[in-house]
Amino acid sequence: MLLVLVALLFGAAASQTGAPPCNNDIYCYGPLLHTVQMAELFVDSKTFVDMKMKRSREDTLASFDDLMNRTDNKPTPEEVARFVNETFDPAGSEFEPWEPSDWKQSPRFLEHINDRALRSWGSSLNDLWKFLGRKMKDDVRVNSDLYSIIYVPNPVIVPGGRFREFYYWDSYWIVRGLLLSEMYGTVKGMLENFMSIVERYGFIPNGGRVYYLMRSQPPLLTAMVDSYIQATNDYEFLDRHIGTLEKELEFWMNNHTTLVEKDGREYKMARYYDVSSGPRPESYREDIHTAAIFKTEEEKDAFYSQLKAAAESGWDFSSRWFILNGTNQGNLTSTKVKKIIPVDLNAIIYWNADLLSKFYKKLKNTDKAIQYGILAAEWLEAVENVLWHEEVGAWLDYDLINQMKRDYFYPSNLAPLWTGCYDPARKAYYLGHLMEYLRRSKVMVNEGALPTTLEHSGEQWDYPNAWPPLQHMVIMGLDSTGDEYAKDLAFDIAERWVRSNYRAFNETNAMFEKYDATVVGGHGGGGEYEVQLGFGWSNGVIMELLAKYGDRLTANEVFGSEELVSSAQINSPVSPQVAPLVTVLIAQTTIAAACIGAIFYLRKVNPTERYVRIPTH
């Protein structure tokens, strides 16, 4: 029945919003949810909707009706708190202790990390998988109507902090890390969970709660399967589930695409979307307060729908989704994500089609391989013709309202390098423009990482925050080109990211979900909730960078006062042809006194940024 509801709602007209986020009148909509959330019992609205009912829905609603009758529909916060304590169990009560049976003390990737301190850190991150593992009690399966969590049969690795359940796109980087930890059984179980969810609902929701059932997240299941197959050669698993992967892509094609006209042609392209009504249950109070500026319920519902579409993107929230007079200015109420064609989503859709074509070729199904090969080619053409802008030197999001490119820096502008969504015969052309684009954007002046945007909006997916998946996209995209300058830049970004994460870990003994691009070791801030610890995708990205660059990375410089300076500050510019061989003598000044000049060398020059490394010893 729920699958039918979801299909009907996603098939609604684009101009309409329909039912609430799910058909549960306790966790998704209704007087009880409104009364509890507006009583502000919890700092985080998500806390309540993650709690388990102690009794049936009918008994719970009867108790609530009794409360409202006794208080003339005006219960005090204390009375609401008493009701919640009497009728709900604390959030997290759906899990039982679990330690992965396939966890290994010393996975092989650690052997490739030369620096002893970084190797020890890698081992600590491997330990964290046990902390982030979750297994549902069987009672969730038996009495699923008492919970907001979606039952899955196999244990999962969760992001951490307030994120107690699986999250869709987080799982891609978690899976990458688990595979390095050789936890193949855990990964297979997580993938089996996702397959069962696609078969149940037709798609994978944003996260593992019923209140996420009307939105998804960037579709990376097929890429997860590709990572798993590359690590295990388990083609029997692929053969068994490839139809489910097709079903998920079909969901995106049917419910998240629109036609974009460019130069007299129409191209089908993907966008994030939502067709439900009402506030997000997990941020109910916050959404109600933000929407107060709107005068009508229709305006409020339209705003709520935009927020949920932004949450589907994973970038919740960001000036990337603001449209105000054709610009990215404004505030959260300017969110218009449903009217933006995002570079990264379309690069991922291409990736899905391309991988399915390759999978079917491997499984010797020529017709299906050709079918998805054609779809991939069509998507690549659309990305090239609509989103690539030669005069800017990058792929850019597209504004459907104003029919114009959004010329703002985001790491996601390089996502086609990561997914291979470009003509390989023109690789040198793209790289020449992209390297100049990065140089001109001046993002490499940030010591900690690539910033998410260059806008100071206060939202968590804006400057100065830096997020693990975006660093990974850019690093792996640049490195995959095989170009020496691009590979050198990829290493530099990786080195900064590892350095910043390592410093933060040494000072706090924790991994964070996001970091500060401007400060080595600084964690991020902003947004609707406190910075979260854990953290699944942070672990996965660092483990992959340690595995890839462990023979070159060192921890020696992390706590020193070494700094990066632009070569534009040097009086005598160095020719790119001879730069790798040049040494320069400079004097350094400290606050205390002048120090002896030190010899330093110029790292390989690339088209993005010429910079020199100045040691303090």
Question: 141-148: long-range contacts at Cβ-Cβ below 8 A with a sequence spacing of 24 or more?
Answer: 145/56, 145/57, 146/52, 146/53, 146/54, 146/56, 147/52, 147/53, 147/94, 148/24, 148/27, 148/49, 148/50, 148/51, 148/52, 148/209, 148/210, 148/211
Angle (nearest 5°) at CA 416 between 242 and 490? 115
> ∠ CA 89-158-160 to the nearest 5 degrees?
75
3-state secondary structure of 23: coil
Catalytic residue among 182, 287, 316, 516: 316
Contact 173, 536 (CB under 8 A): yes
Longest dimension (CA), the chain: 84
| Of 111, 118, 116, residue with least CA distance to 502 | 118
At 93, list the tokens: 């009560």
d(CA 499, CA 232): 31
CA dist 442 and 436 (Å) reads 10
Residue type, 56: S
Active site residue 492: no
Q: Which residues, including other chains, have CB under 8 Å from residue 592's CB and lie 6 or more apart?
A: none
DSSP string, 71-110: TTT---HHHHHHHHHHHEEPTTTTEE----TT--SS-GGG
C-alpha–C-alpha distance, residues 544 and 490, integer Å: 13
Residue 89 among the catalytic residues: no
Left if phi > 0, otherwise alpha if psi is -120 to 50, otherwise beta: which for 403? left
* Given the residues 513, 516, 544, 609, the one annotated as active site: 513
Show which residues are catalytic: 316, 513
